[in-house]
Amino acid sequence: MNIIIIGCGKVGSELAMQLSQEDHDICVIDQNDSRIRKLTESYDIMGIKGNGCNYAVLQEAGIANADLLIAVTESDELNLLACVIAKKVEKCHTIARVRNPVYEAESDLLKRELGISMIINPELWAAQEMFSVLCFPNAIEVDTFSRGQVQMMRFRIPAGSVLDEIRIAEVSQNLNSNLLICSVESKGEVCIPGGDVVLHSGDIITIFSSRRNALDFFHSIKASKNPVKNAMIIGGGNITIYLARMLTRAGIQVKIIEKDSRKCDALCSVLPEATIINGDGSDKEILKEERIGSMDAFVALTDFDEENILLSLFAQKMVDKKVVTKINRLQLNEVIYNLDLDSVIYPKDITTEKILQYVRAKNNSSGSHIQTLYRINEDRVEVIEFSIKNKSSITNTPLSELNLKDNIIVASIIRSGKMILPKGKDMILPGDSIIIATTRLGLDDARDIIKN
């Protein structure tokens, strides 16, 4: 596909890198020379300095032949305008980043009336992911498929767990649990496991299950935590607004600490049910004064990654159930991995997943269609939900007889709204959705899971 990206900040740069690696033709537009130079020198892409809302600049970028324009500048309004120009003049597909909570309620209207294909809101998506892990505090990460019918959870096996030194094939049998383990991360290495893989304490496993069965599983391994009833949030940005709204609607008490008094005033007006404290959330004395030790959950949402990391390390010693950390810079991944933080959320990663899902779905208009895509285990594993439209080489054949490529597992089949944890005799039928997990990155068609 020919793709134009307007804005070369953190999100735009990550998109340019990922999409160029998937063999798309990329042109980036930005008004910052150094940003463009860094990308064009590192990847096989074209760069143009200029305003992405200027039609002459868009023409130079090849808008006449573009399949998709993605606008991710810091300005919501510029992003929307650029998409309108591209759609009205050249009729290509468009994606706009719109972050202001004021626009969130109008996102469907904006898409419909302005003809925008997709509106992305990294802060809202990050808040939704945080809300999921706060509602399920046993998990490091919680993602959903098929409108919530299927839950994917990442979980670290604690010391002394009944899962320590047990073969995967024995998990369901010994614990009477209806689930499937689709990835195992052990000592920094990730694999798509077979039944003979042995689990160890400290491993991070990814499980597929229904919500009810997941609760039963955590109870059976004696790792069940009580639900979160109150939460402390440090920082008063957009993610805080989205997350606090979700938490208060769920009946969870929220306390927000923000050092900017003007932001505190704004928070008070939009979050009347939350307690707003004007203070420095990095001051341990203030945290103790606000009774951090009595909190079920702690969420670090300042604008500085290093501050969020330090706050979370302190909070993990004080908070009973859950600590969530927001990180913007992926360069810190290796350091973060060794710190053993609880749940880490990367808004930039979430945005990239959503756009890759859209691009791959557009790239493949027949056979199967990507509905959902997640990257886990530091982007080393992709978990993809495909809708199976028609009869093909993967349908009407028992899974045990499909010649699956290495490092691929069919994690779930969804049929008529119900989840099937597949066994060898199960078959994929036209009309099903299937979820696959793989270390083979870049699949855009379900038929690619079998060997030629």
* pLDDT for 431 beyond 80: yes
Contact between 429 and 401 (Cβ < 8 Å) = no
Burial label for 25, CB within 10 Å (0-12, 13-18, 19+), is: middle
Q: Which residues pair with 412 in a beta bridge?
A: 435
- Output DSSP code: residue 198: B
Predicted TM-score of the model (pTM):
0.87
Binned at pLDDT 50, 70 and 90, residue 332 comes out as low
Q: What is the reported pLDDT for 364?
A: 62
Q: What is the mean pLDDT of residues 386-405?
A: 93
Poorest-pLDDT segment among 153-157, 288-292, 367-371: 367-371
pLDDT band for position 331 (cuts 50, 70, 90) = low
Say what the pLDDT of residue 43 is.
Answer: 93
**Is the predicted pLDDT of residue 18 greater than 70, yes or no?**
yes
Q: How many CB atoms lie within 10 A of CB 272?
A: 9
Residue 368 has pLDDT above 70, yes or no: no
Domains in the chain, please, with CATH? 2-120 (3.40.50.720), 127-220 (3.30.70.1450), 230-345 (3.40.50.720), 356-449 (3.30.70.1450)
Other beta carbons less than 10 A from residue 224's beta carbon: 13
Q: Output the six-digit token pair for 426.
A: 């199960």
Contact 449, 410 (CB under 8 A): yes
Mean pLDDT of 396-417: 94
> Pairing between strand 230-234 and 253-258?
parallel
Dist CA 311 CA 48 (whole Å): 40
Confidence class of residue 91 from pLDDT cuts 50, 70 and 90?
confident
Owner of token pair 């498929």: 145
* pLDDT at residue 146, as a whole number: 80
CA-to-CA separations, 364 to 27, 261, 374, in angstroms, rounded: 21, 50, 18
Instruction: Please state, as a whole number, how many other Cβ atoms lie within 10 Å of the Cβ of residue 353.
Output: 22
% of the chain residues with pLDDT over 90: 67
DSSP summary character for residue 65: G
Gap between the Cα atoms of 224 and 326, Å rounded: 24
pLDDT band at 330 (very low <50, low <70, confident <90, very high): low
Q: pLDDT at residue 34 above 90?
A: yes
Give residue 334's pLDDT.
66
Poorest-confidence range of 36-45, 271-280, 284-293, 313-322? 313-322
Helix or strand or coil: residue 64? helix
- Mean pLDDT rounded to a whole number for the chain: 91
Q: What is the pLDDT of residues 202-226, one digit of tens each?
A: 999 999 998 888 888 888 888 777 8
- Position 336 scores a pLDDT of 75
Q: Quick one: pLDDT at residue 212?
A: 85
